[in-house]
Chains A and B, each alone.
Chain A
């Protein structure tokens, strides 16, 4: 290990800093230098910068394994998960900024949680089972294995916010539910346990803040860290909602 030290690159991080809690603070770019280490991720790099260089630097990591969705940020201008971004895949100059659209907490930390909760409340992102009381001592209801897998595929969203941060519509419409919201509607629409009909879903997403607000720029599809099939799901949902809307 020690012998390789001389070959390690010097990484230069250019971080957008701003602390709204600090009176008179203004947004600025701050530079940090760090020696690269083998297997270094942005989680490791930012943690080291905070521990050794600047204890005030704000960012969010939780699982640091690409599954919790906490660490979405703009990495060289593109929304991505910082924890699973490996520095060796990047140039020595790395620019970091918080995700746009969401409320800023400070530096690289944004409040995705509050927005996601609002979206969930608005779209009622849970199984609506019409209140029948099941007896959980009894056998569970059977479900087609292939359908269960399809539902799981759409359930893989981690609500990181990358899709919304990359969305053209969201720039213009603060209330747009984003690919994250539309994908959830597609997920519950597919789930036979959810008794809602297309008429119900139309009430939730049949407008410009829902599926008709999407301009099909589809950056969401390109940046989704979980590779969710957002393009097909949004197109499919739009078709179903058009059918529903024209029934009218």
Chain B
């Protein structure tokens, strides 16, 4: 049995995993990163448009602070988020941007003087301040009050992961590429590492670690139509779920991005709309102001996606040979802007659609985009139920996005969570009591169990892994999509259970040695089905609408009954459904009690504690009206949750210390 020992085992080589490993290594703990692909090819790379952090350098961002970013994020989440975590996040994001700037990310910079921009379809001249010249620039994004999204042209995620991955190389952190974790090694209360398969040789080994972190990104590929890369199959989620102990939070919260190109589903950035692009229907009519007079094209993603689908249902979609879609019009932004700030968009349109977005409109329709749910952790990134297990980034539910994530908050979360959890995990490893006595018998048992599972696929089973996967993806896109009903969801849950049972009889057609792509599909689809079931079953039981989870039969947000987080566990290997439990959110502690988001539906059912908390909050706000820091501390103290090195106020042009 081959065993690799390390202090910190990081599963996933995207931005969250890389930054977490750097944090742990700099604190003196060895880290090994396992990655399905070379780190720079991770899906973090696909974040085109930008990263939120309240620097307030540009004129349209002036007055932005952590407070505004906090409120935008909580409203965006439809009050599903953990407000402590949101506070930790918004206070760390400016530090993250500045750290990345020092490490080499070529953020776009402010140029002083006049410049023309498109706002609400009109050309407007903005004058940038002299003192902002050369500082990091911001653009507009959906669901934000201020221009807050910093960017590197339209290759933001690309530049970020290039820089952070190179920093990991500088710190001599090994990335074991083309390695896949098959199972966590644990005894029901403590995690000891993972069983790992080599995707070149097919060899199985064990990685034993003091701390294990799941940083594997999203699960978009359980859907047919998704913007996610082909590796985003929710395998990290499944690793946690299959322990039977670690829970997944809010898996029914799935975001659909308004502008996947139609029909391929490849993302074109929210920056298109942030920079002034418009959504138009079959008649060339700009319809978003009809539905959302306040935020128009820049309401949150869940709202824009629903309005687009609603408009298509009214017969206003453009009918193409593949089906109906909406038009995204960025022609008004002009050739120069498109060729510099939206060049990846131009590339994608050119190569995949044969469309020149300088002259023609882009066919778009909402596509699965982001997995808000994930491995449930506390505010420091540690699993509350499985000691030694941590999670960060899209794979985690710590829970900063609640039921809808704001554009630009995901890449921001990856590095911020990496910074925070990197420190937490180092603290954990510092303590002698946390150094495990490794039960080698248990390690061997887990390795042999995984080997036996792989061998079972060569025992003449009649089911085809690709077919099962396809049926699952069709069910998810067809029945567990943007508009959900009890009937569709029950049907999906029923059929997914049958697929799960069938997946236990998968047999390989090709027993080829080495990587064997068919074997990879076979063992992954069994895990993906458990994730799909966690999403569909969670959605079927949640009889309300919140953020991206929209039930046509229960269209109102219902704080009285559903202001709580779903926790899914998989108790036994023979189960065909997750076991659901619920964790209430405490209104009495909230800095921002539930209310209207400022866009989308206005009617919701209040939680009984909300009016009282609202009154208390207003009194505290009045008392500290002149000092936003004192006000915040009185409303909801959170700083003790942050690692010490990440505490402290952020300087701005308009806020010097």
B101 touches which of A64, A109, A116, A141 (Cβ 8 Å): A141
The interface size bin for chain A is: 35 or more
List B residues at the A interface (Cβ < 8 Å).
37-43, 45-46, 55, 94-99, 101-104, 106-111, 133-137, 152-153, 155, 158-159, 162-163, 166-167, 169-170, 175, 177-178, 200-202, 229-231, 263-264, 266-267, 321-322, 340, 344, 347-348, 351-354, 466, 470, 508-510, 512-518, 521, 648-653, 657
16 residue pairs from A and B, CB less than 8 Å apart: A21-B201, A21-B202, A38-B321, A52-B466, A60-B37, A62-B231, A64-B229, A67-B344, A126-B166, A126-B170, A129-B102, A139-B651, A143-B109, A144-B134, A149-B108, A152-B152
Pairwise interchain contact B512-A56, C-beta atoms closer than 8 A: yes
Residues in A neighbouring B353, C-beta threshold 8 A: 39
Selected contact of A141 from candidates B102, B263, B648, CB within 8 Å: B102
In the complex, A194 has a CB within 8 A of chain B: yes
Q: How far is the CA of A105 from the CA of B421 in the complex (A)?
A: 35
Q: Is the CB of B108 within 8 A of A1?
A: no
Are the CB atoms of B38 and A117 closer together than 8 Å?
Answer: yes
Given contacts A61-B230, A65-B267, A67-B45, contact A142 B109 (CB under 8 A): yes
How many angstroms from the CA of A110 to the CA of B566 in the assembled complex? 42
Q: B522 — nearest CB in chain A belongs to which residue? A: A55
Q: Mark A165-181, 1 if CB is under 8 A from B, else 0.
A: 00000000000000000
Given the known interface contacts A19-B512, A21-B202, the answer about A145 and B110 at a Cβ–Cβ threshold of 8 Å is: yes
User: If A19-B514, A55-B508 touch, does A142 touch B135 (CB 8 Å cutoff)?
Assistant: yes
Smallest CB gap from A157: residue in B: B162
B106 in complex: contacting residue of A22, A50, A51, A152, CB < 8 Å: A152
With A and B bound together, what is the CA distance between A111 and B98 in angstroms?
Answer: 34
Whether B202 contacts A137 by the Cβ 8 Å rule is no
Within 8 A of B (CB), among A111-138: 111-114, 116-117, 120-121, 124-127, 129, 134, 136-138
Expressed in whole angstroms, the Cα–Cα distance for A188 and B104 within the complex equals 9
Q: Are A113 and B177 in contact (CB under 8 A)?
A: yes
> How far, in whole Å, are A68 and B162 apart by their CA atoms in the complex?
11
Check A41–B352 contact: CB distance below 8 A. yes
Which residues from chain A contact B39 at a C-beta distance below 8 Å? 113
A51 to chain B: which residues have CB within 8 Å? 466, 470
| Cα A97 to Cα B516 with chains together (Å) | 19
- Bound: A48/B466 CA distance, A: 10
A197 to B24 alpha-carbon distance, docked (Å): 31
- Roughly how many angstroms separate A166 CA and B580 CA in the complex, as a whole number? 55
Distance in Å: Cβ of A101 to nearest Cβ of chain B: 16
Known A-B contacts A61-B230, A66-B348, A142-B109; the reply to A106 vs B648 at CB < 8 A is no
CB atoms of B322 and A1 under 8 A apart: yes
- Complex contacts, A1 vs chain B, CB 8 Å: 321-322
Question: For A105, what are the chain B residues with a Cβ–Cβ distance below 8 Å?
Answer: 178, 200, 514-515
Q: Give the residues in chain A near B43, CB-CB below 8 Å.
A: 62-63
**Considering the chains assembled together, what is the distance between the CA atoms of A192 and B159 in angstroms?**
16
Inter-chain pairs besides A62-B229, A67-B344, A136-B99, 10 sampled, C-beta below 8 Å = A62-B37, A62-B230, A63-B45, A113-B37, A117-B175, A134-B98, A141-B101, A142-B109, A155-B152, A156-B158
Min CB distance, B128 to chain A, in Å?
10
